[in-house]
Every structure is written in structure tokens, then in C-alpha cells.
Amino acid sequence: MSGVVDADRTAASYVAGHGLLDGRTAVVTAAAGTGIGGATARRFLEEGARVVVGDVHARRTKETVARLTEEFGAGRVHGTACDVTDEAQVKALFDLAERHHGGLDIVVNNAGLGGTALLADMTDDQWDTVLGTTLTGTFRCTRAALRRLRAAGRGGIVVNNASVLGWRAQPGQAHYAAAKAGVMALTRCAALEAAPDGVRVNAVAPSIALHPHLAKVTSGGLLDELTAREAFGRAAEPWEVANVIVFLACGYSSYMTGETVSVSSRHP
């Protein structure tokens, strides 16, 4: 056997919605694009949820809301520009869910920021920028979610987007790996604190989910190298990660909290 995997044979078929989130309201950050956040917003809508999207790009957020509204109908999608490093903008995003839907049930903290720099050459600004968005931004949105879910008193779900780099070492990724490992630890601690209120907090840890933005900011050589390490010989589609987020957001995962689920075909 050659050990070479035919990526076409491992390709998955898109899964139709089954009403797993009927009647729920979800807030999804960094959702105005073709990556995991955008795929999650779409999958949630296909599963019957109402969705409030936030993204740092105001124009793209507006375009995303318009496109999804045209496809899924008026009143089911709202959005606003949201930089998760800004407390006022985070509040405005959650206020939008309250105003249009009377509250929220699910929060997906997808916003994150990467970069490549060897630790010895990394500047304080590079470190602070990645940690500020990826870890502190997740903390800020998780805090907002737990406060509102606790006040509503009907339970709820938080799903954080971590990364397999929270477990694995990769040169040039010390800031991103530290941030994602922090997201995993934050998830575990938040889960214990939120459990008495009936709120579950979990995370996904994707390896590589290929989308146009990732291709723009990552060299082709590195993408090829990372993809070759995957057991299936291909990157995940963003919607394949979104499917796992749907699982963590619905009743099928009712006894799971504080967990980080690897979405990868590669062993550590």
C-alpha cells in the first residue's frame, strides 16, 4: 500500500437540516465570510435557528445579512459590526439579539486572529494583538453570554472555537497556540461555573478548514504541508466544522460540558 489517500474518496456530502435548533436564537461572531463563522450561521439557519451575526467588517456583515435574509426569509437574520476587543460593540451585538428576539439561547465565539512570527522575533504588539482578539475577545463574549443566560434563567449553550494548536506545537505560532490553549482552559472553567444555571460551555478544535481568507494569509507551501498530514489527505470544509458546532449546540450533546472536541483527521 502506498499510504496515499484519495481525497476525492474522503469528501463528505453536505448534510441537510433536521430542525435541531428550531426556535433557538444564536449569536455568532466573525460570521461575515466564507470561513467557519459564516458556515456556522448558515448551518444554524438550516437547522431552524434565528441568527444574529457580528463581524469586524461592517460592509461584509451587512452583505451577509442581506444574502441570508434573501435565502432564509425576513426576520430570521440580523447583524451588526462587532470588534470583540471593544466591550461596547460586544454589548451592542448581544443587545441586538435581545431587541429582535427577546433574548438568546446559543453563543458561538468564533472570532480569532492568527499570524506567523518566531518567538525570538515576535513583538509585543504581535503577541498582544493575537491574544487580545483570540483569547480576551472570547472571554469578553463568554462573560456577556453567561450574564445574560443566567439572568434569563432558561439555560443555554456557549461554543468556543479553539484549535488543535492548543495541543500541538508549530513553529511561528506561539502567540496563536497560547491563545487557543487559553480558550480551552477558559472553556473548562466557564463550564463548571455555568453548570448550576443549566448552561453548557464546550469548544471545537479544528485542524485545517480551507477557505479563501485562509488561502490569502497562508503560504501555499504551508497549506500543502498541513493538508498532507491529515489522515484524509484534505482539509476540512468549513461546514464540516460547523456540523460539530451544531452538535454541541443541540440536544444531542446534552450531557457534555467543559469539553474540547477535535475536528481533525490527524492524530496529535
Q: How does residue 2 score in pLDDT terms, banded at 50, 70 and 90?
A: very low
Chain centre to alpha carbon of residue 22 = 20
**pLDDT (0 to 100) of residue 231:** 73
Is 217 strand, coil or helix?
helix
Distances (CA, A) of 101 to 49, 92, 233: 11, 14, 42
Q: Which of 14, 176, 252, 255 is catalytic?
A: 176
Residue 259 has pLDDT above 80, yes or no: yes
Cell digits of residue 108? 458561538
Look up cell 508549530; give the residue.
170
The per-residue pLDDT for range 104-125, each reduced to its tens digit, is: 999 999 999 999 999 999 999 9
Look up cell 445574560; give the residue.
148
**pLDDT (0 to 100) of residue 12:** 81
**pLDDT (0 to 100) of residue 72:** 97
Rounded to the nearest 10 degrees, what angle do helices 137-152 and 87-101 cross at? 30
Residue 61 has pLDDT above 60, yes or no: yes
The domains of the chain, with CATH numbers, are: 25-263 (3.40.50.720)
Cα–Cα distance measured from residue 62 to residue 110, given in angstroms and rounded to the nearest whole number? 18
Contact 123, 66 (CB under 8 A): no
**pLDDT (0 to 100) of residue 215:** 47
Phi-psi region of 107 (alpha: psi -120 to 50; beta: other; left: phi over 0): beta
| 67 φ/ψ angles, rounded to the nearest 5 degrees | -65, -45
Find the mean pLDDT for residues 167-183: 97
Cell digits of residue 153? 434563567
Contact 80, 8 (CB under 8 A): no
**pLDDT (0 to 100) of residue 267:** 53
Residue 221 has pLDDT above 80, yes or no: no
Cell digits of residue 176? 496563536
**pLDDT (0 to 100) of residue 213:** 55
Q: How does residue 4 score in pLDDT terms, banded at 50, 70 and 90?
A: low
**pLDDT (0 to 100) of residue 195:** 98
Contact 88, 64 (CB under 8 A): no
pTM of the model: 0.91
Residue 216 has pLDDT above 50, yes or no: no
**pLDDT (0 to 100) of residue 90:** 98
Cell digits of residue 198? 443549566
User: How do beta strands 156-161 and 50-55 pair?
Assistant: unpaired
Q: How does residue 235 score in pLDDT terms, banded at 50, 70 and 90?
A: confident
Distances (CA, A) of 133 to 72, 112, 124: 30, 6, 14
Distances (CA, A) of 263 to 55, 189, 203, 260: 23, 21, 10, 9
Does the annotation count 176 as an active-site position?
Answer: yes
Find the mean pLDDT for residues 205-222: 66
Distances (CA, A) of 261 to 19, 196, 222, 248, 257: 22, 22, 24, 9, 11
DSSP tag of 36: H
Find the mean pLDDT for residues 13-41: 96
